[in-house]
Amino acid sequence: MDIQGSEFSTKGSYVTGKEYTRDTHYIETRITRDGADGYPVEAGRYRLVVARACPWAHRSTIVRRLLGLEDAISIGVCGPTHDARSWTFDLDPGGADPVLGIERLQEAYFKRTPGYPRGVTVPAIVDVPSGAVVTNNFPQITLDFSTEWKQFHRHGAPDLYPEELREEMTAVNKRIFTEVNNGVYRCGFAGSQEAYDDAYDRLFAALDWLTERLAGQRYLMGEFITEADVRLFTTLVRFDAVYHGHFKCNRSKLTEMPVLWAYARDLFQTTGFGDTVDFEQIKKHYYVVHEDLNPTQIVPKGPDTSGWVSAHGREALGGRPFGHGTAPTRPVDA
């Protein structure tokens, strides 16, 4: 989730005339087993910086937890709100990250590139010894957790990125990102009625497509959870709390889309998903930070979230959430 300069929207990309366009120019350095980019996989060297409010960062917390990478990659958590400069560590004692010793994530970006000109985003992986950001390329971060960090996976870790499904998953992920993950933002930050109408129609066409796909199978790629489910979940879990009203994605609430609502509850009740959700931080971020959309900064009390733990019935479709693996057992640390 981006923070940009004054010419950008508060949601980190920009409105060119009428249509909202996300800035996808990230720091593409990778942490790999061979260290080709100068950053080899090494337990204890890197810190994953996230915000529980942010859907893009939320992906990385789920994948890290499912794979059991807690001992290999530490985590730092920013607060739900920020100013035009940076995410801050206001949840930590003294307002500074206890490992990095910084108050603003911006400081780690400046360590990498003095005067870093683009968005200060989460998730970001920071090289602890140097204090510099290694990467903020959120789609690649989780894929590398699955592939490059295998030696540090917990016993029983699921395969979230199976080789035999990657080609199909790439196509599914692309549509989910374009029409759903980013589609809600295209609705919320549309600069014209025409741009909003187009974004709205595309979003709900994609949700209808997902409904059809999930009507007869438990997960997006079939019988077990994959990276694709993680990517969709972080948008669905925020849908009624913020996107339906705040971003005007109001053809239907998630609770009014039976297949997707049951699917989302199934994931929420799976270890690693619901236990990483903080609805209050999610609402506080969107309604406080987006002053252009919500000038009063009033945070709504609803919706009622008790339904997330109600029976979903998706077990009838078969499948095993973790495939041949097992659920995480250690307590969540973020």
Report the C-alpha dihedral over residues 125, 176, 251, 200, rounded to 10 degrees: 90
Q: Is 285 helix (H, G, I), strand (E, B) or coil?
A: helix
DSSP bridge pairs for 103: none
Tokens of 10: 């508060």
Contacts by 28-36, CB closer than 8 A, 24 or more apart: 28/135, 28/137, 28/140, 29/134, 29/135, 29/137, 30/135, 30/137, 30/140, 30/144, 30/148, 31/125, 31/134, 31/135, 31/144, 31/148, 32/144, 32/148, 33/148, 33/151
* Residue 219 near residue 229, CB atoms below 8 Å: yes
Q: Which pairing describes strands 13-16 and 19-22: parallel, antiparallel, or unpaired?
A: antiparallel
Task: Give residue 300's region: left, alpha or beta (phi > 0; psi -120 to 50).
Answer: beta
**Binding site annotation covers 209?**
no
* Residue 1 near residue 117, CB atoms below 8 Å: no
Residues with catalytic roles: 54, 185
Backbone phi, psi, residue 76, to 5°: -120, 140
Write out the binding residues. 87
Write out the binding residues for glutathione. 87
